Amino acid sequence: MEPLTSVSQVRALSPEEADRGLPVRLRGFITYCDPAWYQTYFHDGQHGIYIVVRNDAPLYGKLDSGDEVEVEGITGRGDFLPVVKGSGEKSATVRRVGHSNLWNPAVMGVTDFSAPEQACEWVRLRGLVSSVVRGVDRLTLDLDVDGRRFKAYLPAPFGPADVPREVVGTPVQVNGVVGTRFNNQRQMTGRSLYIPSPAAIVRETATPEVNPFDLPLRSTDAPLRIGAGGLGERIRVRGVVTAILAERDLFLRGEGGGLRVQPVRAPQARIGDVLEAVGLPEVSPFKPDLRAAVTRVVRHVAEPAPHPIVAREALDGRYHDDLVSVEGTLTAHELDNGALRLFLASGGTHFEVQLPAAGFTPPPPKSRMRITGICLVVIGPEFWGHHVGRTFIVQSRGPADLTVLSMPPWWTTRAVLWVLAGVGALAALAAVWAFLLRRRVSAQTAVIRAQLQRETIHEERLRIARDWHDTMEQQLMGVNLLLADASAELSPGDTSAAATQSLKLARRILGYCREESRASIRDLRSLTLEARGLPGALEEFLRPLVQAAGAEFSLTVTGAPGRLGGRQEQHLLRLAQEAVANAARHAQARKIEVRLTHLPREVRLEVRDDGDGFDCANVLGTSEGHFGLQGMAERAEKIGGVFRIESAPGAGTGIVVTVPAEHAPRLSESLPS
């Protein structure tokens, strides 16, 4: 594809077409170059365009306005107009072939200059330079063109001293490149001018050179009054310096009151100097300023004293831009971008104080203060004839301008409320303490009562166990002996089969009763169940039974263990003992496993072995040899449980008892935490 060879062809592309990266080969001149801002503008004699030259380019930082160059690259969509760049967002290729002075275009009016189509063009404007300020990496000028103000920029190597004094405030002609501010919709939002060097700013030849200090001297309230000149006419004033703020703003006090002066360069002045300033009036929200002023010190006098005022006097504007002293009560303060803002009130009027944050610590709210500084009246958006301010700001010169007259009184409404809140809090704490103490006393009383009751029950159980052992156990033993003697005295020939069977059954029943009585006595005398609960008692009583039979024992407890009612724990322990004893003695088991599962509403006890097993059909009731199983079922029924046998010949046996959980209250739960 043939490359594009004119700027007109590139500018005519749509954003989508430019995005295709069409090849470009151009020859022309560099009109403006500022490496610090990556700004390079090119003109082929017909139109201008932006070319991408960054620090990857061999000539980065070496190009200058007036260089004749050849440019090769591809098109890019740009943010406002199409641009010329290298592939992959790299710099375009630029070769210098010569250097010459740029031509002077025809003077352009503000209407043509503001047209979006003029972006990147090389133009000439007629106007006034009203200020010169050092900005970030470049010099910023205020350029007044046909009553409108535009920003103009000089690249980094130039400083305020490079701009001739005589061009400030006088009609000039300026050559430069049209700069554009824009949004992300490719719409213009502002216009500026890029000036390649101070040599591009030339005074109008028809304007006679006049010493600015030969102008007639006027009062500080003369700017923009009828008969004192307009926006484009310089004016000369004189006053005493009352403040120097932001390193370059001068405030003068003259016959007409205060006046803010913005010199072209940082002034060589101090507070108390009598200063003359020549500059251009500028409209400000409340009172005109004097901009682009040249200054000279006439003499030095004593530092001016501030006007002592009350807050409401500041609102009529008489002291705007003047040095005042005002008292007020501090209500609040805040830091704002390195500046300290104090908010004060006096007689129903609220105002603000601004000063650098360093070197001053604000006093507490409600402190009485005296503030000295420049009074700046703030007006609302409405126009009411004589512009009475809605509030004002005191711009302090430093911490020395602030005096604390008195600290806030201690006995204030807020302090009283705090005291009352403290007393209320103490009363509430005392009530809570008394309540908790009463709960603790009640809980400890319950503990003592429960301990006494437990000891009494324990003693009574031991007494019953002793009596039972000394009476019923002995009597059962005697009956067993009598039955044995009766069985021995009957000869086999004299005894019927029914009688012999009845005696055997009576002795078996009697043996079962003796085992039950002994187990009951052990229960009455057992302290393990009370001390360690059901899991501990199972471990203590069951493991020896299993180990004596030569089998392996395991106990598993799952769920959230809690103490059950004593009646439930005793019966479950007896059930487990009976089941383990049966498995150890009769089932030839090699492994016996006990599981205790605590569920939210029930407790399940399981005893399983890997022994011989048996047929579960008709094992309960009166069948011979199964009084233990029947007793276990009855015991489970006493505590509202469900008794279940799982067994088969050769498959082991499982005893499962499920009872509703009747948790016994714990004494520790009644104590306050």
Q: Are 244 and 303 in contact (CB under 8 A)?
A: no
* Nearest 10 degrees: Cα torsion 302, 308, 312, 314: -10
In this predicted structure, the answer to whether residue 300 has a pLDDT above a threshold of 90 is: yes
Q: Coil, strand, or helix at residue 28?
A: strand
Range name among 30-44, 485-499, 590-604 with the lowest pLDDT average? 485-499
Spatial distance between the Cα atoms of 379 and 381, rounded to a whole number of angstroms: 7
In this predicted structure, the answer to whether residue 462 has a pLDDT above a threshold of 70 is: no
In this predicted structure, the answer to whether residue 517 has a pLDDT above a threshold of 70 is: no
Q: Coil, strand, or helix at residue 250?
A: strand
Q: At what angle do helices 472-489 and 497-525 cross, to 10 degrees?
A: 160
Q: Is the dihedral of CA 78, 82, 86, 91 positive or negative?
A: negative
Query: Looking at per-residue confidence, does 444 or 383 come out higher?
Result: 444
Neighbours of 505 (CB within 10 A): 12
User: The tokens of 282 are what?
Assistant: 């500028």
Q: Is the dihedral of CA 583, 587, 588, 594 positive or negative?
A: negative
Render 384-445 in DSSP notation, one character per residue: -SS---SEEEEE-SSGGGEEEEEPPPSS-HHHHHHHHHHHHHHHHHHHHHHHHHHHHHHHHH
At residue 543, φ and ψ (nearest 5 deg) are -60, -45
Neighbours of 564 (CB within 10 A): 22
Q: Are 365 and 331 in contact (CB under 8 A)?
A: yes
| Residue 621, pLDDT score | 43
In this predicted structure, the answer to whether residue 666 has a pLDDT above a threshold of 50 is: no
User: The tokens of 580 are what?
Assistant: 């383990």
At CA 584, angle to CA 578 and CA 590, rounded to 5?
A: 140
User: The tokens of 609 are what?
Assistant: 């072995």
| Residue 118, pLDDT score | 95
Give the residue among 632, 636, 569 at the shortest CA–CA distance from 598: 569
The per-residue pLDDT for range 625-635, each reduced to its tens digit, is 455 677 788 88
Spatial distance between the Cα atoms of 648 and 608, rounded to a whole number of angstroms: 12
The per-residue pLDDT for range 415-457, each reduced to its tens digit, is 778 888 889 999 999 999 999 998 888 888 888 887 777 667 6
Q: Which long-range contacts (CB under 8 A, 24 or more apart) does 100-106 make?
A: 100/29, 100/66, 100/68, 101/66, 102/29, 102/31, 102/65, 102/66, 102/175, 102/196, 104/175, 105/175
Spatial distance between the Cα atoms of 244 and 7, rounded to a whole number of angstroms: 50
Q: Coil, strand, or helix at residue 465?
A: helix
| Residue 667, pLDDT score | 35
| Residue 385, pLDDT score | 45
In the predicted model, what is the mean pLDDT of residues 167-179?
A: 88
The per-residue pLDDT for range 68-93, each reduced to its tens digit, is 999 999 999 999 999 999 998 899 99
In the predicted model, what is the mean pLDDT of residues 179-196?
A: 94
Burial 303-332 (b: 16+ CB within 10 A, else e): ebebbebebebbbebebbbbbbbbbbbbee
Percentage of residues of the chain with pLDDT beyond 70:
81
Spatial distance between the Cα atoms of 213 and 569, rounded to a whole number of angstroms: 114
Reported confidence tier of residue 467, pLDDT bands at 50, 70, 90: low
At CA 60, angle to CA 59 and CA 63, rounded to 5?
A: 65
| Residue 239, pLDDT score | 95
Which one-letter DSSP state was computed for residue 303?
Answer: P
Contacts of 616 (CB under 8 A, 6+ apart): 645, 646, 647, 648
Give the residue among 137, 171, 138, 162 at the shortest CA–CA distance from 152: 138
Spatial distance between the Cα atoms of 371 and 394, rounded to a whole number of angstroms: 8
Average pLDDT score, the chain = 83
Give the residue among 210, 260, 207 at the shortest CA–CA distance from 237: 260
- Give the position of tokens 């960054």: 54
In this predicted structure, the answer to whether residue 597 has a pLDDT above a threshold of 70 is: yes
In the predicted model, what is the mean pLDDT of residues 646-652?
A: 85
Spatial distance between the Cα atoms of 195 and 174, rounded to a whole number of angstroms: 8
Reported confidence tier of residue 595, pLDDT bands at 50, 70, 90: very high
Three-state secondary structure of 603-637: EEEEEEECCCCCCCCCCCCCCCCCHHHHHHHHHHH
Q: Coil, strand, or helix at residue 110?
A: helix
Give the residue among 620, 666, 660 at the shortest CA–CA distance from 642: 660
Reported confidence tier of residue 346, pLDDT bands at 50, 70, 90: very high
In this predicted structure, the answer to whether residue 672 has a pLDDT above a threshold of 80 is: no
| Residue 354, pLDDT score | 92
Query: Looking at per-residue confidence, does 320 or 356 come out higher?
Result: 320
The neighbouring-strand residues paired with 179 are: 192
At residue 7, φ and ψ (nearest 5 deg) are -65, -35
Q: If phi over 0 gives left and psi between -120 and 50 gives alpha, with beta otherwise, what is residue 428?
A: alpha
Range name among 23-32, 177-186, 251-260, 517-526 with the lowest pLDDT average? 517-526
Which one-letter DSSP state was computed for residue 663?
Answer: B
In this predicted structure, the answer to whether residue 475 has a pLDDT above a threshold of 70 is: no
Three-state secondary structure of 34-54: EHHHCEEEEECCCCEEEECCC
Spatial distance between the Cα atoms of 566 and 536, rounded to a whole number of angstroms: 14
Range name among 17-31, 373-387, 513-527, 604-618 with the lowest pLDDT average? 513-527
Highest mean pLDDT among 111-125, 153-167, 251-265, 596-610 belongs to 111-125
| Residue 665, pLDDT score | 45
Which one-letter DSSP state was computed for residue 667?
Answer: G
In the predicted model, what is the mean pLDDT of residues 204-232?
A: 78
In whole angstroms, how far apart are CA 458 and each of 452, 464, 539, 567?
10, 10, 22, 14
| Residue 208, pLDDT score | 60
Reported confidence tier of residue 25, pLDDT bands at 50, 70, 90: very high
Contacts of 155 (CB under 8 A, 6+ apart): 32, 33, 34, 35, 36, 37, 138, 139, 196
Neighbours of 261 (CB within 10 A): 26
The answer to whether the pTM exceeds 0.85 is: no
| Residue 500, pLDDT score | 66
Query: Looking at per-residue confidence, does 34 or 525 come out higher?
Result: 34
Contacts of 485 (CB under 8 A, 6+ apart): none
In this predicted structure, the answer to whether residue 359 has a pLDDT above a threshold of 50 is: yes
Domains of the chain, first to last = 7-99 (2.40.50.140), 107-203 (2.40.50.140), 212-300 (2.40.50.140), 308-406 (2.40.50.140), 531-673 (3.30.565.10)
Spatial distance between the Cα atoms of 130 and 262, rounded to a whole number of angstroms: 10
Query: Looking at per-residue confidence, does 357 or 78 come out higher?
Result: 78
Spatial distance between the Cα atoms of 76 and 85, rounded to a whole number of angstroms: 7
Spatial distance between the Cα atoms of 250 and 263, rounded to a whole number of angstroms: 8
Q: Are 53 and 14 in contact (CB under 8 A)?
A: no
Q: Which long-range contacts (CB under 8 A, 24 or more apart) does 486-492 make?
A: none
Percentage of residues of the chain with pLDDT beyond 90:
41
Q: Count the helix, strand and coil residues of the chain and give each as a percent rounded to the nearest 5.
A: 30, 35, 35
Query: Looking at per-residue confidence, does 412 or 282 come out higher?
Result: 282
| Residue 624, pLDDT score | 44
In the predicted model, what is the mean pLDDT of residues 515-540?
A: 66
The per-residue pLDDT for range 277-299, each reduced to its tens digit, is 988 888 887 888 888 678 899 99
Spatial distance between the Cα atoms of 12 and 248, rounded to a whole number of angstroms: 46
| Residue 224, pLDDT score | 83
Reported confidence tier of residue 575, pLDDT bands at 50, 70, 90: confident
Query: Looking at per-residue confidence, does 409 or 480 come out higher?
Result: 409
How many alpha carbons fall within 13 Å on the CB side of residue 308? Answer: 2
At CA 149, angle to CA 144 and CA 154, rounded to 5?
A: 80
Spatial distance between the Cα atoms of 325 and 371, rounded to a whole number of angstroms: 6
In the predicted model, what is the mean pLDDT of residues 520-526?
A: 54
